[in-house]
Each structure stands twice: as C-alpha cells, then as structure tokens.
Structure 1
Amino acid sequence: MTSVTLNPADFTRRSPVYRELRDAGARFVESFGGAIAEDFMESAEAEAKSAAGLALADLSLLPHFGFKGRETVDWLCSQGVDVGDQDNVAYRQEDGVLAAKLAPREVLLIADIAGRSDLCARLADSASIEEEVEAFPVPRGDGYFWFLVLGESAPAMFAKICGVDLRPSSFGELEIAQTSVARMNVVIVRCDLGETPAYYVLGDVASASYLWACLLDAMEEFDGRLVGHGAIRHLAGV
C-alpha cells in the first residue's frame, strides 16, 4: 500500500469534512472530481475487519441527486428507474443505485457504493432538457453530506443520539427514517454491506462538521474508528 496522498484543498470539489479526515490521517486519492479518503494508512482488508464493530466513513463525493415535483415518480419510472408506491423506502436498481422515496413527490438517488453508475448524471441531464415535465432536479450532491455508519454496534451508538430504533429487528433493510440525530435533521437509509449492518446518513452540508464530531463522540464508547472508501468497497465486494 502506497503512502502517497493528495491535498483535498487542491481540488474545486471537496468533502465538507475533508479537514477532519486530513487531520485524522486519511490518505486521499483522486476520485469523483475531488480527493476522497481511500484509507487511514492500513490495507482495505484490515480496515474492513475493524469495521465489523463500529466505523464511520465519508462518502460525500459520491454521486447523489434529488428530484422533486408532481410528476417526479412517473417521470423517473419512464426513465427506467424502479420506484414503488411506498414512501420512506429505498428501491435498489440493477446497477446498485438506490432510489430513496422520501415523499410522494420527492426521490433522492444515491449512487452505488463504488460510484460506477452514471444514472444520477444521466437523469440530471435528461430532466434539464424536458422542461415540460414537473420533475425538478435538486442538486443534493452539493447540498447534502453523505456519511456511512456501519458495524454491529451501530444501532446501540445511534440510540444515544437518535430517537428512532435502528436495530435490525425494528428497522429493515432499505427502510428510511427522516429523523433527528444529535438535534439535526437527517435522512437515514439502512443499506447493509454483506453481513455488516450499515446506515447511510445524509443531511445539510452546512452542518456536516457538527454531526461528524457528534458521531465520533458517540462512537468512542464502542471503540469506533474511521475507515476509508477502500474498506467500504472491500466489504461490498466491489
């Protein structure tokens, strides 16, 4: 494993917590138009193993994009996106992208864990062309951070700072909770990585540093740690 790293500040596109990641010893690689935390000077296998207990990763640079409007669901379905009738459920696409239905007229698209799908970009381009359709793009990639909390102790950690019961017995795979974590409004999507419980946490980018610090504080009791994108891909088998 190389120790060569990049400076996220050299890129126009940056994670809202790049300073925190840098100070924690992250090794950055160029990806998704910026510099993403690939690891913390350990192999992907070693970090993935430690993530079994409790870990936190930043995925904010991966594509995520929203749509709002009266015709949002119908238009997305016409574009080949599978969106069901039930709200607060994430519908997994064939390429791994999640179509998270937040409301009857609002859907948040969340990239596959490797960020290989071009679905978000393709739909954003299509929506901007079809001006007569009431399905308006919402650039969540710029306005929302995207964190990943994973590990067996994740539900117990969340219980300290969130009123929703996120235990697997109560909160199913691909369920969505629009709730408060550490007194901040967020969207939580359960999206396990193999046998490892995992939760996407998305919210207002202006409060990213605040919530990052709150999560790290809540994780301390459980010996939680930071992991990079390499470990997440390893756990996902991609």
Structure 2
Amino acid sequence: MAPGTVSPTAFSRRSYVYRSLEAKGAEWAALRDAAVAMRLGRPVEEEVGIGRRLGLTDLSPLPRTGFKGTGTIEWLTSQGLTIGPESNMAYRQADGSLAARLAPSEIFLIDGLKGEAGLIDRLNGAWAWGTEKPRKLIGYPMPRSESHCWFMVSGWQAPAMFAKVCGVDLRAHKFKQGQIAQTSVAKISAIAIRDYFGELPAYHLLTDSASAEYMWACIVDAMAEFGGQPIGLAALRRLAETR
C-alpha cells in the first residue's frame, strides 16, 4: 500500500497519538499490523533539519518485546544475542535492534527503525518451556507492544529540553551511549535510552501506553522554546544513516 493512501484506523493496532499526528498532516505508511507516520505535512528534508535541532518521532507502531526472569540472559545469548554484564545499558544487535538490560534478568528489546522485527519474531517463535524435569529456567516473555508507547527525541537541543522535564542529567558527557535511565519524565515513570546518529544525540523514550498522549503533549510543550517539533519516521531514518 503506497504512502498517503493509508489510514491508521484501518489497522487493528494504531499509534497511541495518531489523532495528534493526523492534526499535523501525517502521511502514513503500512508497517506490519499498524500504520506509521512517515512525515508530518512537510518535505522530508525540512523534517531532517528539525530533527537535527530538536525532533520528536512516534515509534509506537514499531515492534518491541521483552523477556524476564531467571535464565533470561543465558537463553537470549544462546539465541545469538550480545548482552553485556551491566544493567541499565542497551546493547545493539546485528540487525540494529537494542537489547535494553533493565535489570540483571530483564531485557526490553526494541526493533531497529526499519521495523522488520526479524529478531523479535524469531525469539517469540523460539521461546518455549522444555519437557525435561526439572524444567530448565529460561525466563518468560514480557510482551511490550501494548504495555509501552515508544517515542524518540533527537537533536542537539534534546539534553537542554529534557532538563525541563527530567531530573537526570542527559548531557552527552554525563549520559553515555547505550545508557538507560529508569526515572521520572514529566512526573510519570519512564525509560530513557541514549542512542546516537553519528554525533547527534538521540533518546528512546518509553512509558506506560495509558500515558502516551500526556507524555507526547508534555514533550511537545517542552520543545517549543528550542524550536523543536514532531517529525516523521522518514526523517528519523535519514538521520540514523549517519550512525
């Protein structure tokens, strides 16, 4: 289905903030079982410029999942994932996805920006209890697509903007690439993960899906004094090419 002919309401899953995106003139594209806003009423090149300064992108339609419990890390590494020993760090996988280690035995796995979900689909299909007794401990799945919304904030002004709504210092020399902050953003619990597009700061922002519209509105408001605006996935993918 070509971009521009897609409606988010035609899918069983849709962005938690699709009404706000529609109001910005969103041009949608089909992505698996949902629609994603590719641009928001502007040329992609213009949105790339906004994203370099300060942009907010909705990634909620993209795939994500989780695994938790005793044996989780051992099982995931046996499946080919690379996961370091530190908690509150995210580890990039070969397909571009991030394995965010929230605790010694908990992983929040978010897909790459292509949204192909190859690794996520494979893991979801491979996980199963064995028949041996006692049963081998391999953790258990924690589906995250419905539990958490997923936004990304990009741009040089992002750390200054976050200083208005988050008590953690997210400046580059304090918050390194891959680092995770499980903290309060705009007075609600959230997960912030530092990513990077070349030298350009970028932050994944995950919070309870029931708070998605509130979080989106708070970030849009906090961005205003820095000239920040929402942008579509097409511009974010362009920015990510510098990674």
Interval of TM-score (by shorter of Structure 1 and Structure 2)? over 0.9
Tell me, in whole angstroms, the C-alpha distance in 2 between the residues paired with 1:188 and 1:234: 22
Deviations 1:98-138 (A, max 9, x none): 11100011001111121234101111111146574431111
Q: Determine if contact 2:149/2:209 at 8 Å carries over to the other structure.
A: yes
List aligned pairs for 1:109-128, cutoff 5 A: 109-128=109-128
Tell me, in whole angstroms, the C-alpha distance in 1 between the residues paired with 2:182 and 2:11: 32
SS at match of 1:234: helix
What letter corresponds to residue 229 of structure 1 in structure 2?
L
Tell me, in whole angstroms, the C-alpha distance in 1 between the residues paired with 2:63 and 2:128: 17
Tell me, in whole angstroms, the C-alpha distance in 2 between the residues paired with 1:41 and 1:230: 12
Deviation at 1:84, TM superposition (A): 1.1
Matched, 1:171 2:141: no
Matched, 1:183 2:187: yes
Partner of 2:97: 97
Deviation at 1:41, TM superposition (A): 2.6
Deviations 1:15-71 (A, max 9, x none): 111111111211111113111000013232221122111110000111111101111
SS at match of 2:237: helix
Deviation at 1:142, TM superposition (A): 1.5
Matched, 1:6 2:10: no
State the percentage of identical aligned residues: 46
Partner of 1:80: 80
Moved over 6 A (4+): none
Tell me, in whole angstroms, the C-alpha distance in 2 between the residues paired with 1:120 and 1:3: 25
Deviation at 1:192, TM superposition (A): 1.1
Q: Determine if contact 1:3/1:41 at 8 Å carries over to the other structure.
A: no
Partner of 2:65: 65
Partner of 2:161: 157
What letter corresponds to residue 197 of structure 2 in structure 1?
L
SS at match of 1:142: coil
Partner of 2:219: 215
Tell me, in whole angstroms, the C-alpha distance in 2 between the residues paired with 1:197 and 1:167: 9
Taking structure 2 as the reference length, the TM-score comes to 0.93
Tell me, in whole angstroms, the C-alpha distance in 2 between the residues paired with 1:227 and 1:17: 13
Deviation at 1:212, TM superposition (A): 0.5
What letter corresponds to residue 18 of structure 1 in structure 2?
Y
Q: Determine if contact 1:84/1:91 at 8 Å carries over to the other structure.
A: yes
CA RMSD across the alignment: 1.6
Deviation at 1:3, TM superposition (A): 7.9
Runs of 5+ consecutive residues of structure 2 not aligned to the other structure: none
Partner of 1:227: 231
Q: Determine if contact 1:95/1:117 at 8 Å carries over to the other structure.
A: no
Total equivalences in the alignment:
237
Partner of 1:26: 26
What letter corresponds to residue 203 of structure 1 in structure 2?
T
Taking structure 1 as the reference length, the TM-score comes to 0.95
Tell me, in whole angstroms, the C-alpha distance in 1 between the residues paired with 2:50 and 2:207: 26
